[in-house]
Amino acid sequence: MFNSLFKSIPFPSYVWKIVENNLILIEYNTSAEKITNGQIINDLGRKASDIYKDQSEFYEGLSRCTSSKCRVSKEIKTVCMTTGEEIYISVEYSHIPPDLVLVHTEDITERKNTEQKLKDSEEKYKDMAELLPDIIYEIDKSGKFTYVNPAGYEKFGYQKDEVIGKMSMIQAVLPEQREKLIRNAKRFFSGELIEPGIYTFQKKDGSTFFGRLHSRPIYKEGKIVGIRGVLHDIHKLIEIEERLKKLNLELEQRAEERTNQLWKASEDYRLLVDHAPVGVFLADQEGNIKLVNPQLLRILGSPSAEATKQINLLTFPLLKKAGISAAVEQCLEKKESNISEFFYTSKWGKDFCGRLYLNPARDTSNQIIGIQGIVEDITEYKKIEQKIRESEEQYRTMINSLADPLEVVDRDLKILLINPAFESWLEDLGIEKDVVGRTIFEAFPFLSSEIRKEYKQIFDTGEIQFTEGSTFVDGKEIITETRRIPIFKEGHVNQV
């Protein structure tokens, strides 16, 4: 019976006998015969030192198992005997007293390739997020940060251990704006789409800056479990806008005829507008453009200010198609500022993505006599944002396609991610699937304390771990083989 079981093991398996300090091949199973096209029979009775004289890694594992009389696990890169292709093999050596060594081998090439693709995809996504000048963040449903890119730490002046899992987004804004942020967050988690919002953020040293939050939901099993977003520093844009308002007021105070004087720029005003890093324009209530700066001409691909002034903000077809005319009408009708993003092809064939800030222009008696706008070219930012989405989708797809159950934990042993195979496994075992955000001991209280030591070892050494073990779930024994793979960041293991 046991011979039949050995023969039917689905992995190539071999039995070696210790004879006078030599290892002699005495048995093999059907899988071993198939993978060698029957050639394994020629090695029966031969010494391991002769068979593996050109494959020292296989022999080294046998020797180590023999001398230590303990289980030895190895991953070996080798060449397939039948196809000549380079493959990865997982080898398990087990000493069977008094004088036998049982060896199981498994082709793990597909899994190794998948692991590498997963690592490459994750690194690609991380690298993009880490290199972006804007602040990329993720928060959970409690509002606490679960991820912030380096730009965020540099901008706010905090260290990572002060932020992740400890600091919330609410703490990052001024107290008088927190109620607004909480209100918008509740709407967001209820599934309502929220327009990008502007808040005043406070750094660790107490200084402040204006920022624009652009957020998207993080879904798990169809439910919103967090928020991922971009915090764009618009402090300079706000300063320019405030200076424009101040200069407008100064111009109005000098004028006898308030409307005409609105469009007559002083040298200070002209210098500010001409050197602004963003596009600036002024128009009257009928949509007639009165002033444009050089940067706006460059964004539009326009040949001159005169050519640009021929365009009416309210009636020009391309502006109406892009929704810009509607934004101008809304600003004038509601007498309040608004912000919008758009994709636009200009009259001169220039394609770009833009962010438009509109404000009513007022005279000294606070009457609206026109509109002023700032145009920011965000084409490159949108391209990077799209690459991040594509990389993340690729990363998620790769993880979800794995047939083996997979989980990712951080240094606190908090579960950050599980794939569908892991969820199915939990469901089969009758274990609750909602484990993300909990530690492994909170999610699986039946785990032994030895697990903590095994994780500590991999975080300390950075070495791949292979373990076999058993535990009982609802009285049923579960035998598992676990591979723990370290994920490095800045030379240290930060996830497994």
Give the residue-averaged pLDDT of 124-140: 77
Task: Kindly report the three-state secondary structure assignment for every residue of 181-237.
Answer: HHHHHHHHHCCCCCCCEEEEEECCCCCEEEEEEEEEEEEECCEEEEEEEEEEECHHH
Secondary structure class of 486 (helix, strand, coil): coil
Per-residue pLDDT, averaged over 351-363, amounts to 89
Is residue 124 predicted with pLDDT exceeding 70?
A: no
Q: Is the pLDDT of residue 211 over 70?
A: yes
Query: Residue 409: pLDDT band by 50, 70, 90 thresholds?
Result: very high
**How confident is residue 391, by pLDDT bands cut at 50, 70 and 90?**
low
Instruction: Map out the domains of the chain with their CATH numbers.
Output: 2-107 (3.30.450.20), 114-233 (3.30.450.20), 236-381 (3.30.450.20), 402-495 (3.30.450.20)
Per-residue pLDDT, 482: 85
DSSP 403: S
Return the pLDDT at 125. 67
Question: Which are the contacts of 394, defined by CB distance < 8 A and separation ≥ 6?
Answer: 121, 124, 125
Each residue of 144-170: pLDDT tens digit?
Answer: 999 998 889 999 999 999 999 999 999
Which residue's structure tokens are 């636009």? Answer: 344
Q: Is the pLDDT of residue 90 over 60?
A: yes
Residue 347, pLDDT > 90, answer yes
Least confident residue range of 48-62, 66-80, 126-140, 322-336:
126-140
The pLDDT of 89-116, averaged and rounded, is: 87
Q: pLDDT band for position 206 (50/70/90)?
A: very high
165-185 mean pLDDT: 91
What pLDDT band is residue 426 in, cutting at 50, 70 and 90? confident
Asked if the model's pLDDT at residue 454 lies above 80, the reply is yes
The angle that helices 267-274 and 235-254 make with each other, rounded to 10 degrees, is 160
Indicate if the pLDDT at residue 78 is higher than 60. yes
- Output the six-digit token pair for 280: 């600036």
Q: What percent of the chain has pLDDT over 90?
A: 29
Q: How far apart are CA 279 and CA 350, in angstroms?
A: 14
* pLDDT score of 262: 45
pLDDT, average across residues 371-382 = 86
For residues 28 and 364, the model is more confident at: 28
Predicted local distance difference test score (pLDDT) of residue 36: 85
pLDDT score of 475 more than 80: no
pLDDT at 474 (0 to 100): 76
Q: How far from chain centre, in Å, is Cα 268?
A: 45
Average pLDDT of span 191-218? 87
Higher pLDDT, 291 or 398: 291
The answer to whether the beta carbons of residues 168 and 148 sit under 8 Å apart is no
Q: What is the mean pLDDT of the chain?
A: 84
How confident is the model over 312-334, as a mean pLDDT? Answer: 93
State how far the Cα of 141 lies from the Cα of 225, in Å rounded to an integer.
Answer: 6
The pLDDT value given to residue 129: 66
- In the predicted structure, residue 386 carries a pLDDT above the cut 70: yes
Name the β-bridge partners of 471.
Answer: 478
pLDDT given at position 398: 64
Relative to beta strand 135-140, strand 223-233 is antiparallel
Q: Which of 139-153, 366-380, 454-468, 472-486 has the lowest mean pLDDT?
A: 472-486
Residue 348's pLDDT is: 95
Confidence band for 385, pLDDT divided at 50, 70 and 90: confident
Work out the number of other CB atoms within 10 angstroms of the CB of residue 324.
22
Q: What is the model's pLDDT at position 322?
A: 92
* Whole-number Å distance between alpha carbons of 156 and 168: 13
**Quick check: 417 pLDDT over 80?**
yes
